[in-house]
């Protein structure tokens, strides 16, 4: 009886933990880096990306990104590959206004870095 209770509690706990992840995953869309034609900063925690077909996507950052303003350039996404979808945990690097543009493809530069929380369709209002 004790084993059945532990098993039931484990199943319930794992289900409750996975519900927010499933809900967030449902909102995420696939925006491939090689399809991104333009990016703009909406605010310090949100980017708007436009793809080749002129569809807009909102890239939500994981919290507020220090120095991420309309003057922060260039914005460089660092996903696993240019053909993978931008997703939670991928990095966005940028230079803050007044900083030198030290760009490195390996990400070991003087640029500021923020992490993506999610990507959704449409532009923020």
Tens digits of per-residue pLDDT, 63-97? 999 889 888 878 888 877 778 899 999 999 988 76
Write out the residue range of the structural domain in which residue 96 sits.
Answer: 29-121
Nearest to 39 by CA among 11, 62, 73: 73
- Residue 7: inside a domain: no
Residue 120 in this model has a pLDDT that exceeds 60: yes
- pLDDT band (50, 70, 90) for residue 14: very low
pLDDT band for position 38 (cuts 50, 70, 90): very high
Strands (E), 63-123: 76-78, 91-94, 112-121
Q: pLDDT class for 1, splitting at 50, 70, 90?
A: low
22 in a structural domain: no
Counting the structural domains of the chain, the total is: 1
CA distance 14 to 20: 11
Would you state the pLDDT for residue 118? Answer: 95
């Amino acid at each position: 009886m004790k084993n059945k209770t532990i098993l039931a509690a484990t199943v319930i706990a794992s289900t409750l933990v996975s519900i927010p992840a499933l809900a967030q995953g449902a909102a995420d869309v696939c925006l491939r880096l090689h399809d991104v034609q333009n990016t703009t900063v909406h605010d310090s925690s949100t980017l708007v990306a436009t793809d080749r077909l002129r569809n807009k996507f909102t890239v939500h950052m994981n919290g507020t990104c220090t120095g991420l303003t309309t003057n922060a350039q260039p914005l460089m996404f660092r996903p696993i590959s240019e053909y993978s979808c931008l997703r939670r945990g991928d990095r966005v690097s940028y230079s803050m206004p007044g900083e030198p543009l030290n760009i490195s493809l390996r990400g070991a530069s003087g640029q500021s870095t923020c992490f993506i929380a999610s990507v959704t369709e449409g532009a923020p209002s």
